């Protein structure tokens, strides 16, 4: 069967990665969490005291970062591997979440990540989620989805997820972080978060994971026919 590129963009904690993973599993496509790449770069900068406001430091550091994904065929998840280290857990920590949007706004960082993302899509059969996938990474993708959900629902979903790992985390901390990232991501100069003109909007505030998958698989079938 013909393979296509599916892009999933939207605000923080809307369920983009969940949907992308579900689709990839169902269609036997490659799943790429582009946000994990920006998070891994942020972790590298924090660990190595790279000042991302200094272009020379950024340009010097980026060639030292190797990014890979390790896929788990059983549950369809993928782990971020940075310089041969599995950093999947570390990149989800609050310190990374607090800094990632600033790092992702740096022009050189975006060029570094986007080039690798475009390479991954050469053979098609890929579902990639992020902020600029339908607008910048794959402007010619066959199916583009823009996910939204009520902000209160998004905060609640992320809280339920993070509370399991860190019972000290507060709703306020999560709300502040999501608001801050959405603001920076939508207002940066390079590739701001925007709905691509030809993207279909999916508001999943009241949809379960199963319901959102069924809906989107219908759109995929339409495209493939
Ligand atoms: O999953 P969550 O919504 O928390 O965020 P993420 O997808 O892991 O992305 C983390 C951050 O990376 C975002 O807030 C953006 O600042 C940045 N990002 C981006 O700029 N472009 C992308 N294609 C993906 C993520
Ligand atoms: O990738 P993004 O930041 O947009 O969100 P995510 O990490 O896929 O989803 C955030 C949380 O919402 C996860 O805990 C999902 O299980 C949950 N979720 C949900 O409860 N219902 C949905 N329809 C979609 C996601």
Chain position carrying tokens 């986007």 = 114
Q: Quote the ligand 2 centre to 13 CA distance (angstroms).
A: 6
Q: What is the mean pLDDT of residues 144-156?
A: 97
SS3 content of the chain, % helix, strand, coil (to 5): 50, 15, 30
13 within ligand 2 shell (Cβ under 6 A): yes
ipTM for the complex shown: 0.97
Task: Convert the pLDDT of each residue in 72-125 to its tens digit.
Answer: 877 778 999 999 999 999 999 999 999 999 999 999 999 999 999 999 999 999
For residue 123, say whether it is annotated as part of any ligand binding site. no
Q: Quote the ligand 1 centre to 181 CA distance (angstroms).
A: 8
- Decide if 99 contacts 49 (C-beta within 8 A): no
How far, rounded to the nearest angstrom, does the alpha carbon of residue 47 sit from its chain's CA centroid?
Answer: 22
Q: Quote the ligand 2 centre to 157 CA distance (angstroms).
A: 6
18 within ligand 2 shell (Cβ under 6 A): yes
Q: What is the mean pLDDT of residues 196-209?
A: 97
Give nearest CA residue, ligand 1 atom 19.
131
For residue 186, say whether it is annotated as part of any ligand binding site. no
Percentage of the chain beyond pLDDT 70 is 100
- Identify the nearest ligand to the CA of 19 by its number: 2
Give residue 6's region: left, alpha or beta (phi > 0; psi -120 to 50): beta
Q: Quote the ligand 1 centre to 106 CA distance (angstroms).
A: 13
Task: Convert the pLDDT of each residue in 28-80 to its tens digit.
Answer: 999 999 999 999 999 999 999 999 999 999 999 999 999 999 998 777 789 99
How far, rounded to the nearest angstrom, does the alpha carbon of residue 58 sit from its chain's CA centroid?
Answer: 21
Domains and CATH numbers, the chain: 5-211 (3.40.50.300)
Chain position carrying tokens 């990665």 = 17
């Amino acid at each position: 069967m013909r393979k296509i590129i599916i892009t999933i963009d939207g605000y923080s904690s809307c369920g983009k990665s969940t949907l992308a993973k579900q689709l990839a599993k169902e269609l036997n496509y490659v799943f790429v969490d582009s946000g994990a790449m920006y998070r891994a770069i942020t972790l590298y900068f924090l660990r190595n005291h790279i000042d991302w406001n200094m272009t020379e430091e950024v340009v010097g550091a980026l060639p030292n970062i190797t990014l890979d994904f390790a896929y788990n065929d059983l549950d369809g998840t993928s782990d971020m591997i940075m310089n041969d280290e599995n950093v999947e857990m570390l990149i989800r920590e609050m310190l990374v979440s607090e800094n990632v949007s600033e790092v992702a706004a740096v022009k050189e960082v975006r060029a570094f990540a986007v080039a690798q993302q475009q390479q991954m899509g050469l053979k098609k059969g890929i579902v990639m989620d992020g902020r600029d996938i339908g607008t910048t990474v794959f402007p010619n993708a066959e199916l583009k989805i823009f996910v939204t959900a009520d902000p209160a629902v998004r905060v609640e979903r992320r809280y339920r997820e993070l509370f399991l790992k860190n019972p000290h985390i507060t709703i306020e901390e999560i709300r502040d972080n999501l608001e801050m990232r959405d603001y920076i991501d939508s207002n940066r100069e390079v590739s701001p978060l925007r709905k691509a003109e030809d993207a279909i909007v999916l508001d999943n505030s009241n949809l379960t994971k199963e319901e959102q998958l069924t809906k989107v698989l219908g759109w995929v079938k339409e495209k493939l026919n």
